Structure 1
Amino acid sequence: MLTREENDRLTQVGPGTPMGETMRRYWLPIATSDQLPHPDCAPLRSMLLGEPFVVFRNTDGEVGVLDEFCMHRRVSLALGRVEDNGIRCLYHGWKFAVDGTIQETPNHCNEKFRQRLKAPAFPVREAGGLIWTYIGPKEKQPPFQHYLFMEGPKENRVALRVDTAANYLQLWEGGTDSSHVGILHHDHVAIAKNKDEEFDLGVMAVEDHAPVLDIVDTEYGYHYAAKRRGPVDENGNESFSVRVTPVIFPTGRIIPAPNTFQYFLFEVPQNDHVTSTYIVCHGQKKADRHGVKAILGLNDERFWREEDCLFRASWEVNRMNQDRHRMDTSFAGFSGIEQEDAVLAVSMGPIVDRTKEHMVPADRAVVHLRARLLESIRRVEEGGDPIGLRVEDFSGVHSLIDTTVRKNESWQRLLPGNMELLKAAE
């Protein structure tokens, strides 16, 4: 259970807030590459940490991230024309390059004026099917971080964005909570079910919904093993079924899937009440976009559509689209992993009142997430770097699908890349 002050510190992300200033120290996704499908396509209006931006792809295919509002009279550039390697405001025709350079001011033909000023523009990287930006202090810009899903052919990757009306933390906490997997997601991970589906979350080896958690701090945040009671062999040796989840600061995690696929998820706050979840499925062979959307429950347009990325379930409009008539055969009355997770996050309200919770041992990874986030805030307030900021290469960090290990056997040895980034002594 948190105090109200701690809850506010963790959930408020606007300019000047403790968590907002901490998150501004990292590179963060602001869009998917698919949202800007070709040069000079329609610009994208996107919120990040309580601030509005316009994202556009110029004639040469370069991406720019600018303050949404034109520096002349504050009209939204998201309504503008993208042409001739710039974005043009509709009001008076001022035109800007991806780096904020003023290219034209039709109502003020003064070249020195254009050279003297520049529109607020932010560093951009396009990698792994996502568009990343940095909106923090210029003098503290960190190295761009490399993930495994940025490697290999594009066909081996599916990147999706889901905009959900809930605070980022309740979505991220759901991703660090292993005990709900076999309950909420029972239809997708139950024992001996969906064995042949390439994009499910994997067949759970045992039906144990109260796993014992081993938590290990790392330079990037922490990872934890959810250990469920496994079979006893003919010699009486006990075992665990182990599933390992890396939790990568400031908003990420990796969850396993069969056939060498992994899901990388980033819960990126648009503001205090809306989160953009970026989901990247990546593996060693071609990924099926339709199959990924189906296992996530994003193939149902009542819940989500590619054209706007909005998650549509709500109490007011459609009672969360729950199909209670199916609950004799479907545990939750929903279809798909992300669909189920997002619905429950929305059902909590925009920001959970964590002063009213009653935590149990299976929630230890969630409690640890909060503690590490508060630690990261403290470091920034004391003039240091937040957790994980200087880790440049995450390509060796992996999740681990349910794997049987003997009771006294170390699961850490199965993830050497993770263990190379153990937390430095503090």
Structure 2
Amino acid sequence: MSRVVIVGAGIGGCIAALAAKDADPSADVHVLAVSPERYRHEPGTIDVLGYVPDQQGPVARPAARIDSLPADHPYNLVGEDDLTRALAYLDDVFADSDRSTYRGTDRNALAPTVTGGVRPTYRYPVTVAAGLVSSQRPMHLVGLDCLTHIDADLVADRLDSVAPFDVTASTVEFPIDATETPPFEAFARALDENNETSDGRPVREALARAVRPALDIESRVGFPPVLGVTQHDEIRRELESQLQAAVFELPVGEPNLPGIRLRERLFDRLDEAGIELTRATVTEVSSTGGSIQSVNVATETEQRSIEGDNFVLATGGVASGGLVGTETEVVEPAFDCPVESPEKHSEWSISAPLGDHWFARAGVDVTSELKPTSRNGPVFENLVAVGGVIGGHNFVEERSRSGVAVVTGYEAGRSAVDW
């Protein structure tokens, strides 16, 4: 029986765990959730490849454009055929879900943003579907007066100037008060429970009544992402019935409810597959003969050692702590994998604000088998890396973060039980 230890429970780590268990149901797969809060930064969509260097507009079919990316890009290391298989596997992961159904084809969809622009995305939750720009139907955006993250009028004005349909907006009070700041999750929980407001109406009905007077002929209505954590499909359908319009959400920054829903879906799939999930931090790595034998981890209550045959590094990039910058270098703290950086700190960036900065592509170098490597070869023979910790790609410029996590996670998970 193969023992696989995955350090990191982001999208890449979860996909690696599920792919390993799928490839070998007898495998003992253990996931260490180093930073599960990272999902608050996830938009809830799966962005595979939105832009490439030689094209002005967004990419239509991501799988058909990986040849435009650098040779050391994770997609080219994996290859088009395996990329296609990985994305098909992602659809299997989300199949038959009553909480987080994802939609999409082999083409990118265009979704509105919180700044009033549009962005390409490959897979999107059903809560976003009615708001896609590809539809020609008029749209009304709803702002909540206590949420400064979304200026509905500003978003509507900007979107109206670029979209082939009319966009209007209004701002209303949420029917209950909340002490949390920002109150996204408090509002979501209130809608989940359908609490009564001060005048005795259920909060879902009260929200619909507040929005309805501003509607004219708009056939779809967009809300901030507060439409429930566990009951969002039911909430959306109820609002659609009362407003007589399709309802969707606009994803915003932290805390982002669609990202939290994505986490719950992936963690549920781990549980269904019999994969152990432990919230822990790696404190030490024990190795011999070029292979890792075990990792020492610290949980909230204890310190313990976890042995494994193969290990997966899935701690993410700088934002999630998988890469750490110092005054002189960038380091990978979990397994001490080298990160090659320019000798001069001034060369980490260039003068153009949106130029090709070194730090934007920084990460661990990997082989075609996704093994972290140095000038002397693989760091450890039984370690592979996935997602944002891998260098060679600029996920912000490319809109490829979650796609790289999915594709490399799938490859790493299957290879971890084949060694």
TM-score, length-scaled by structure 1: 0.24
More relative contact order, 1 or 2 (CA 8 Å, 6+ apart): 2
Q: Greater strand percent: which structure?
A: 1
Q: Greater helix percent: which structure?
A: 2
TM-score, length-scaled by structure 2: 0.25
